[in-house]
A and B are shown apart, each in its own frame.
Chain A
Amino acid sequence: MPESPAKPGPSTTLEEVVRARPLPAPRWIVIVWNDPVNLMTYVTFVFRKLFGYSQSHARRLMLQVHHEGRAVVSGGTREKCEHDVARLHAHGLWATMQPD
């Protein structure tokens, strides 16, 4: 476990304070994988509906999935990612999550 933050004193450097800071919770990312069934317009629609992305951002992510085989579509805490993955699965998209 990281130690509690060092109390700044005359002998404490900024570097020591930064190093003693508690680590943030591990960050997770959600990935959507290309599949041969889901329509391009449908995938764009789902990204807009679930994540509130703009049309062009959602479309760009869809094209990344289409051309590169996968795209990172959201990220955050493990719980948030589990929620996002479940919503993507509910819409029939092939989504996974992993630590960033």
Chain B
Amino acid sequence: VAGLPPRVARLDDGRIAFLLSPVERVILGGYVEGLRDRVTPPPGDDAGEDGAGADAASGLEGAMPATRDPVLARLYPDAIPADWAASASYRDLVVRDLADGRLAALDTVARTLDATTLDDAQAGAWLGALNDLRLVIGTELDVREDDSLEIDEHDPDAERRLVYGFAAWLQGQLVDVLADALPYVADELTDAPEEDDQRGAADVADKAADADEGAADAEDGAASDDPA
């Protein structure tokens, strides 16, 4: 992907230029549309639909996370892994809202598939949908952090790997533009976490390290497509 002209930029009027090629729009549109089924949890995951029966079913889901679809387990993780029942009740509480949020983002992407400019909310929806797309492909292909970016054309998964890489590149540009629009927060306000008494010494060490922040930022930019 290196060498391609950027696809995302903040315009003077405040909107965000979104310069995908027609082919990129068709391919991404198809993949994002295909996400619709993947991000929708089965009814068994939602106790709200079926009363007591679903309650029992979702309790079972919570008790056996290994039996769940790995993609759904990644999109809707156990909140409290040490406590299956609590994880299940958390899931019952939020999974429908989370799924609705994901589907709403996919709707926005479908609506703006041909748009050449986006507002910040639309760009945020694209960012979320692209991240979900990469979570799904990454989980299905068991992508590792140190995987080579080279794609073997004989690999049956070559297209998905290509889309995965392109989505990461596009996502990085959306993040940069949207992060620039976040309000500035002075370090002092969040440097000392309110709850963490023992972190004092570590924070002092971190502050010393921050003296090199400029150099680190430059490096950050170069490595912005690396997974965390």
Q: Looking at the complex, which one of B127, B134, B185, B193 makes contact with A37 (CB distance below 8 Å)? A: B134
Point out the residue from B81, B98, B189 that lies within 8 Å of A86, measured CB to CB. Answer: B98
Q: Is B195 an interface residue (CB 8 A)?
A: yes
Is the beta-carbon distance between A45 and B189 smaller than 8 angstroms?
no
Chain B count of residues within 8 A CB distance of the other chain = 56
Q: Looking at the complex, which one of B80, B97, B128, B191 makes contact with A98 (CB distance below 8 Å)?
A: B80
How many A residues face the partner with a CB closer than 8 A? 45
Contact B128 A91, beta carbon cutoff 8 Å: yes
Interface centre among A34, A37, A91 (most CB of B within 10 A): A37
- A39, B171: Cβ atoms closer than 8 Å: yes
Interface set, chain B 182-212, CB cutoff 8 A to A: 182-183, 185-187, 189-191, 193, 195-196, 206, 210
Contact B175 A36 (CB under 8 A): no
Considering the chains assembled together, what is the distance between the CA atoms of A17 and B185 in angstroms?
40
> Out of A34, A44, A54, which one reaches B187, CB within 8 Å?
A54
Of B131, B225, B227, which is within 8 A of A36 by CB? Answer: B227
| Alpha-carbon separation in the docked complex, A59 to B206 (Å) | 11
Look across to chain B and name the residue whose beta carbon is closest to the beta carbon of A67.
Answer: B228
Q: Which residues of B contact A95 (CB under 8 A)?
A: 77, 79
Task: Evaluate whether A89 and B213 lie within 8 angstroms (CB atoms) in the complex, with A39-B225, A48-B182, A60-B206 already known.
Answer: no
Chain A residue numbers with a CB within 8 Å of B131 are 38, 42, 91-92
- Chain A residues with Cβ below 8 Å from B98 are 86, 89-90
The answer, among B80, B101, B138, for a CB contact under 8 Å with A90, is B101
Interface positions of A from 23 to 72, Cβ below 8 Å from B: 27, 29, 34-45, 48-49, 51-60, 62, 65-66, 72
Known: A54-B186, A56-B213. A40 touches B224 (CB 8 A): yes
Q: Which of A54, A60, A65, A92 has a CB less than 8 Å from the CB of B189? A: A54
Interface core residue of B131, B139, B226 (most chain A CB under 10 Å): B131
Contact of B186 with A92 in the complex, beta carbons under 8 Å = no
Q: Looking at the complex, which one of B90, B186, B228 makes contact with A35 (CB distance below 8 Å)?
A: B228
B135-156 CB mask vs A (1 if < 8 Å, else 0) is 1001100011101000000000
Whether A39 and B186, one on each chain, are in contact in the complex, defined by CB atoms closer than 8 angstroms, is: no
> Ordered nearest first, which 4 A-B pairs have the shortest CB separation?
A37-B138, A36-B145, A54-B185, A53-B190
B interface residues with partner A (beta carbon < 8 Å): 74-82, 90, 93-94, 97-98, 101-102, 127-128, 131-132, 134-135, 138-139, 143-145, 147, 168, 171-172, 175-176, 178-179, 182-183, 185-187, 189-191, 193, 195-196, 206, 210, 213, 220, 223-228
16 contacts between A and B (CB under 8 A): A38-B135, A39-B171, A39-B225, A40-B227, A41-B179, A42-B131, A49-B182, A56-B210, A56-B213, A59-B220, A86-B90, A89-B98, A92-B128, A95-B79, A97-B80, A98-B80
